[in-house]
Amino acid sequence: MRIKLLLGLCVLLPVLVQAEEIGEVSTVFKWMGPNDKIVVEAFDDPKVDGVTCYLSRAKTGGIKGGLGLAEDRAEASIACRQVGPIRFAEKLKDGEEVFKERTSLVFKTMQVVRFFDEKRNTLVYLVYSDRVIEGSPQNAVTAIPIRPWASQ
């Protein structure tokens, strides 16, 4: 019974995409705990083969940051690129969440959502940060025109 319930919950929950860290640079030295830094991460769109997104964002250091208790800044930058032939695994929904990461202990998240501009045959990705009570208008957008991929 418990296994069936857990399997049922897994079907209802969206697939969580894990970002792969590409690199980081320190921005502020901290005497105690890790430094403040900018992290560059990459993740593949789970429903669109041939698309990789690169995300840069600030990570707060210090003792709170080292313990996962600090709140990261809302600023982020995104660049998505075609890295192979583009194929849709299933029908896309506008505004569908592609990636989500917690940026504070409880209340704040950063997410990437996808739109399909059918008129221009282009995928559009938007990164933004929100908070349970008050979100942030800071955002970044990138677009990928869907083109044939040259085979080698």
Q: What is the pLDDT of residue 12?
A: 40
Q: What is the pLDDT of residue 34?
A: 66
Q: What does each C-alpha distance from 78 to 34, 35, 81, 90, 139 come to in angstroms?
A: 24, 23, 10, 24, 9
Q: pTM score > 0.85 for this model?
A: no
- Nearest Cα residue to 113 out of 130, 128, 95: 95
CA distance 76 to 139: 7
Q: What is the pLDDT of residue 30?
A: 66
CA distance 37 to 30: 11
Identify the residue whose tokens are 């005497």.
31
Identify the residue whose tokens are 């208790």.
69
For residue 96, what are the contacts with CB-CB under 8 A and spacing of at least 6? 47, 113, 114
Q: What is the pLDDT of residues 43-101, one digit of tens each?
A: 999 999 999 999 988 877 665 555 565 565 667 889 999 999 999 989 999 999 998 87
Q: Does the structure show a pLDDT above 60 at 1?
A: no
